[in-house]
Amino acid sequence: MPIRPFSVMIMLFVLLAVTPCRADQLADEAGKFLRETIEKVMQLLRTEDVKTPEGRERVMAVINPAFDFELMAKLTLGEHWRRLSPEQQKEFVDMFVAELRESYLDKSKEFADSALTFETPSTLGGGRVQMAVQVDSKGEKLKTLYKAVRRTEWRVYDVEVQDVSIVSSYRSQYRQFLNDKGVEALLAEMRQKRPPAAAGAGR
Amino acid sequence: MVLSAGLAAPAAEPEADLDMEALEAEFAGAETASDLENPKSPLTMYNRAMFKFNDKLLRWVFKPVAKGYNWVMPRPGRQAVQRFFSNLGYPVRGVNNLLQGKFRQAGVETARFGINSTIGLAGFFDPAKSKFDLEPSNEDFGQTLGCYGIGAGPYIVLPVLGPSNLRDTLGFAADVAADPAPKVAKHNDYGREWRIGRGFGRLNSTSLFVEEYEALYDKALDPYVFFRDAYTQRRAAQIKE
């Protein structure tokens, strides 16, 4: 009889020790990756001159491996992706990735001096994790949300700014464009919108 | 460790390790909210025309005026004016919080109004947030209707006011009707002053977002669809909160 409460305690202890389940671990891992990446990018942006190609390259060297730009490109096309020829796919991905990379860098630069608050990450299923990051820029609060997926390394596949998802907003534009005008017209439009050959240099 | 991957990322990573179905579904799901539009439907044609009109109005009329205004009024001043008008919006926000059963937020809004109207010098400052950590909650009647399960309906671009949908247009009309500020002003024979003040408030808020708007517009592949989708996504998120 006197042993009973003790064994119950041991059982509880064992249970508690086991509870940090896989989902939490996944979220923690992704949270750590996101936090480190974002802080590193912000820190670099405070010191590097992004108007020079060299400075830009150094920031890009941190952004590039952390993002899965190709996956983002595919997600923005959705079911249309498979309808593109391999050449069209390649051209699309190249132009999309180039644009997204530059625009992420430019947008982040604006908030380099902001205070960041990282919230608790949560899992979305299928190896996906999201984490909200509050950006406090000169008294104005901006809500961002990073979404990452587990591959060999963690990779960001979408960012939301004030509830607007980057992938979704490209996706709806491409969908409407493809529906109205077709693939060739889309590629032609993207070629035209593309910054001059000196992409990467200060614009 | 992440750095080592560098620029020369492998050209084609196979997606075998990914749950592509879940990823596809995550973004395909959003499309029910912002669906394809038939470019030849009368509503789409009206919307696109009105979107263009609003854009020109902003660039050719409001922006030059706002630029002059920016020159005489520095940003902190403009933010203060914005806070003043936002503070006056308390009754509508409070009512909509109550209608959505957000009693705590309604209380917070009431406290914010009390604090900011007094020590916040008629709302020009926001000590409720900076000193008391009371965050504002932007609730309107469109969100209340959404909260009751009423769908957005078709997307509509309103003259001057911009992106909306059927539900939010009705909601906006209700908010305007419920706003006591113009009635109080009129009752005290300040109707004209109120209208001038209101116009000034509009100019002020325009001056705060016009540059960002232009940057987003100029970068978008199809600005009309970009703003349509951004509006739809944002409203859906606000209603979910």
DSSP structure string for chain A: -THHHHHHHHHHHHHHHH-S-HHHHHHHHHHHHHHHHHHHHHHHHHHS-TTSHHHHHHHHHHHHHHB-HHHHHHHHHGGGGGGS-HHHHHHHHHHHHHHHHHHHHHHHHHTTTSEEEEPPPEEEETTEEEEEEEEEETTEEEEEEEEEEESSSEEEEEEEETTEEHHHHHHHHHHHHHHHH-HHHHHHHHHHHSPPS-BTB--
Would the CB atoms of B229 and A189 count as touching at under 8 Å? no
CA distances from B117 to A52, A93, B36, B83, B196 (A): 48, 53, 45, 11, 21
Q: Which of A127, A167, A189 sits opposite B19 (nearest CB)?
A: A127
> What local confidence, expressed as pLDDT, does residue B8 receive?
43
Instruction: State the pLDDT at residue B123.
Output: 87
Report the candidate in B165, B167, B171 with the shortest Cα–Cα distance to residue B43: B165
What was the pLDDT predicted at B34? Answer: 56
Contact B141, B178 (CB under 8 A): yes
Predicted pLDDT at A201: 41
**Adjacent-strand bridge partners of A132:** A145
Is pLDDT at B96 greater than 50 in this prediction? yes
pLDDT in tens, B16-69: 777 888 888 888 866 554 578 888 889 999 999 999 999 999 999 988 888 888
Q: Is the pTM of this model over 0.95?
A: no
H/E run at residue B162 = strand B162-165
Q: Which residues from chain B sit within 8 angstroms of residue A189, using beta carbons?
A: 221
Chain A contacts of B36, Cβ < 8 Å? 175-176, 179
Yes or no, beta carbons of A125 and B37 under 8 Å apart: no
Chain A residues near residue B228 by CB distance under 8 angstroms? 172
Taking the CA of residue A120 and the nearest CA in chain B, the distance in Å comes to 17
Q: Is B194 exposed, middle or buried (0-12, 13-18, 19+ CB in 10 A)?
A: middle
- Give percent of chain B above pLDDT 70: 91
Q: Find the closest chain A residue to B241 by CA distance.
A: A163
Q: What is the CA radius of gyration of chain A?
A: 22
**How far apart, in whole angstroms, are the C-alpha atoms of residue B145 and residue B147?**
5
Average of per-residue pLDDT values in chain B: 85
User: Which among A172, A189, A190 is the nearest to B225, CB-wise?
Assistant: A172
The answer to whether B222 contacts A152, with C-beta atoms less than 8 Å apart, is: no
Mean per-residue pLDDT, B148-171: 92
* pLDDT tens digits along B186-195: 888 888 888 8
Cβ-based contacts of B220 with chain A (< 8 Å): 173
Q: Would you call B61 helix, strand, or coil by DSSP?
A: helix
pLDDT of B11 over the 50 cut: no
| Average pLDDT for B116-132 | 87
Any A CB within 8 A of B82 CB: no
Distance CA B21, CA B220 (A): 28
Name which of A87, A149, A108 is nearest B17 in CA terms. Answer: A149
**Per-residue confidence (pLDDT) for residue A13, from 0 to 100:** 65
Cβ A175–B36 below 8 Å, yes or no?
A: yes
**Which residue type occupies B73?**
M
Counting every residue, how long is chain A?
A: 203
pLDDT of residue A202: 40
Q: Judge whether A177 and A53 are in contact, CB under 8 Å.
A: no
Cα(B216)–Cα(B162) distance, integer angstroms: 15
Q: Per mean pLDDT, which of A22-26, A139-143, B7-11, B167-171 is the most reliable?
A: B167-171
The three-class DSSP label of residue B153 is coil
Top pLDDT among B12 and B83 is at: B83
A199 contact residues in B (CB cutoff 8 A): none
pLDDT attached to residue A125: 82
What are the backbone angles phi and psi of residue B202, rounded to the nearest 5°?
-60, -50
The whole-angstrom distance between residue B217's C-alpha and the CA centroid of its chain comes to 16
DSSP characters over A6-33:
HHHHHHHHHHHHH-S-HHHHHHHHHHHH
Task: Name the nearest CA neighbour of B184 among B202, B169, B198.
Answer: B198
Grade residue B128 by pLDDT with cuts at 50, 70 and 90.
confident
Q: Could B9 and A64 be called an inter-chain contact, meaning their C-beta atoms sit closer than 8 Å?
A: yes
Q: DSSP letter at B60?
A: I
Beta carbons of B22 and A128 less than 8 Å apart:
yes
Q: Which helix (H) or strand (E) holds B157?
A: strand B155-158
Closest residue in B to A99 (Cα) is: B219
User: Is A180 in contact with B39 (CB distance < 8 Å)?
Assistant: yes
pLDDT the model gives residue B156: 95
Which residues in chain B (21-80) have CB-CB distances under 8 A to chain A?
21-24, 26-28, 30-31, 34, 36-37, 39, 79
- The verdict on a CB contact (< 8 Å) between A71 and B27 is no
Residues of B in contact with A152 (CB under 8 A): 17
For residue B37, the model assigns a pLDDT of 84
Residue B121 vs residue B157, higher pLDDT: B157
Across the interface, of A75, A164, A179, the residue whose CB is closest to B27 is A75
Contact B21 A126 (CB under 8 A): yes
Distance from CA of A60 to the nearest CA of B (A): 8
ipTM exceeding the 0.90 mark: no
**Most B-contacting residue of A106, A170, A172 (CB-CB within 10 A), to test interface:** A172
For chain B, the residue count is 241
CA of A168 vs chain B CAs: smallest distance (Å):
6
Low-confidence ranges of chain A (pLDDT < 70): 1-3, 5, 9, 11-23, 195-203
